[in-house]
Amino acid sequence: MHFSRLIQDSLVLGLGLASLAAAMPKQIVARQSTWNPPSNLVTPLQQVWDHEVATYSNALGFKNYGYDQVMANGGYLNFCVRWDSSQNLSEAQRAQILTALQRSMKKWIDWLVGFDGFPYSSVPVNIVGYAVKSTSQLQGSTSGYDVYTTKDSGGIPECDPRCGRFFHQDGNYGSCPGGAARHYDQSLWLTDGFSGGAGGDWGQRIGTEYFLGAINSENIHILLHEMGHTFALDDFYDWTPTGVSNFIMLAGSSTVITDFDGWMMRDWWRHLKSRYNLSTPTSTTTTSRTTTAASTTRTTTPATTTTAVRTTTTTTTTRATTTGSSGGSPLYGQCGGTNWTGPTTCAQGTCTYSNAWYSQCL
Ligand SMILES: *[C@@H]1O[C@H](CO)[C@@H](O)[C@H](O)[C@H]1NC(C)=O
Ligand SMILES: *[C@@H]1O[C@H](CO)[C@@H](O)[C@H](O)[C@H]1NC(C)=O
Ligand SMILES: *[C@@H]1O[C@H](CO)[C@@H](O)[C@H](O)[C@H]1NC(C)=O
C-alpha cells in the first residue's frame, strides 16, 4: 500500500501576504555543517520534531521522502508535469517551468548542502515528461520529453505509472519503457482553477493560473510550501511552535523559506541519514555552495536498486483523525482511495477526489 502524504493547503491563498511583516528573505550568514540551530529555534524545533514523530504514522520508517529520492538517484531529481489544463504550452513556457522548478528546489536543497554529511553540492532538476489532454497542446519541439496522453482513474492526465517513483519505491523501473534514466521522482501537477495546493512524496499540486502568474517570481511561495511536504515537513493548521510565527510551512505567513524552515528540514536529514550508510564524517565536509544553475542535461545515472523495504503504512497526516468526531473524517482527513478502510464521509468539509489512492475532506 503506498499511500502518500498529501496535505491540502487551502489556506495559503486566503491570507493577505502583502501585509506580512516577515516577508523579506533573511540573509543566511554562514552555513553550519553540524546540528547547531540558533538558540531561539531550539525549543520550537524540538516541538515540531516531537509532534511530527507523534502524529505521522510511520515517520522514521517511510522510505519515499524527497531525501530518499535524491539519495536513490545519486544526487538528482526528475519531474514529470501533469498538465491538467485546457491551455496550450509554448516551448518558452516549458523552459520557464523547468527554471521555476530548479530555482524552487534549489532553495530547499541549499539548506542541506554542506550540512551533516549531505553528499551533494547541488541537486540538478530535470523534467523528463509531460502528461497532457492532447499532444497538440505542446507547441514546438517536444524533443527530450516523454509525452503522455493517458489518464488516471479520475480522468486526469497522468505520467506513466511504470516510470514513477511513487509506484516503484524499490527503485525498479524495469517496466518503464525508457528505463531508469527516464523515471520521474515527483509530479508537478498543475490544475486549472485549483486554489491552494497539495504536496507529498508524489510531488506538488497547484493551480495553473497561480503558477503561470508567479512563474518568474523569485519565490513561488505555494510551490515552496508544497515542496516542503515532499521533504516531510508538516502543516501548522492547529498549532504554532513557541516563538516562531513566520515561516513557509505556516501557510500564509511567509513567502520565503526561513531559517526555521531550513532547520526543520535539516532535522529530518540528520534523523534519516543513517539509512543511507554515509561513510564520511560530517565536520570535514566542504561547504562550497555552488550557485551554478542546475544542469538541464539529464543524467543517466541509474537509480540504485536499494533493498529498502517499502513501508506498508501511510504517512498521511492523521493529526485530526484522533478527534472523536461522531461520523466521518475530519477536515483534511482522508475519506477515500484504493484500499482505504476508514470513513468515506466527512464530519467537516466535502470528500474531494485527489487521485486513485486518496480523497480528502476539504
Ligand atoms: C489493495 O488490496 C489488494 C488486495 O489486498 C492488493 O492486491 C492491492 O495491491 C492493493 N492496492 C493498493 C494500491 O495498495
Ligand atoms: C492550442 O493549439 C492548437 C494547435 O496549435 C490550436 O488549434 C488551439 O486553438 C490552441 N488552443 C488554445 C486554447 O489556444
Ligand atoms: C546499509 O547497511 C545495512 C547493513 O549493512 C544494509 O542492510 C542496508 O541495505 C544498507 N542501506 C543502503 C541504502 O545501502
**Tens digit of each residue's pLDDT (9 = 90 or more) over 195-214:** 889 999 999 999 999 999 99
Measure the CA–CA gap between 4 and 182, rounded to whole angstroms: 22
Give the strand order in the sheet containing 334-336: 334-336, 358-361, 351-355
Measure the CA–CA gap between 40 and 44, rounded to whole angstroms: 8
**Which ligand ends up closest to the CA of 166?**
1
Q: Are 228 and 198 in contact (CB under 8 A)?
A: no
Residue nearest to atom 12 of ligand 3 (CA): 276
Across the range 261-283, mean pLDDT stands at: 88
- Atom nearest to 338 CA in ligand 1: 13
Q: Measuring CA to CA, how many Å separate 87 from each of 150, 189, 208, 209?
A: 17, 14, 9, 10
Instruction: Give yes or no for residue 10 having a pLDDT over 60.
Output: no
Q: Which of 228-237, 249-258, 305-314 has the lowest mean pLDDT?
A: 305-314
Measure the CA–CA gap between 278 and 280, rounded to whole angstroms: 6
**Which ligand ends up closest to the CA of 88?**
2
β pairing state of 146-148 and 203-207: unpaired
- Atom nearest to 304 CA in ligand 3: 13
Q: Which of 183-192, 272-281, 323-332 has the lowest mean pLDDT?
A: 323-332
| Pocket (CB within 6 angstroms of ligand 2) | 87-88, 136
Quickly list H helices, 159-297.
208-214, 221-230, 259-272
**Which ligand ends up closest to the CA of 140?**
2
338 φ/ψ sector (left φ>0, alpha ψ -120 to 50, else beta): beta
pLDDT tens digits, 24-47: 344 444 456 999 999 999 999 999
CA angle 39-43-46, nearest 5°? 120
CA 318 to chain centre: 18
Pocket of ligand 1 contains residue 339 by CB under 6 Å: yes
0.85 exceeded by pTM:
no
Measure the CA–CA gap between 242 and 294, rounded to whole angstroms: 36
Residue nearest to atom 14 of ligand 1 (CA): 1
Q: Measuring CA to CA, how many Å separate 124 from each of 71, 73, 77, 104, 266?
A: 12, 11, 6, 12, 19
Instruction: Give yes or no for residue 338 having a pLDDT over 80.
Output: no
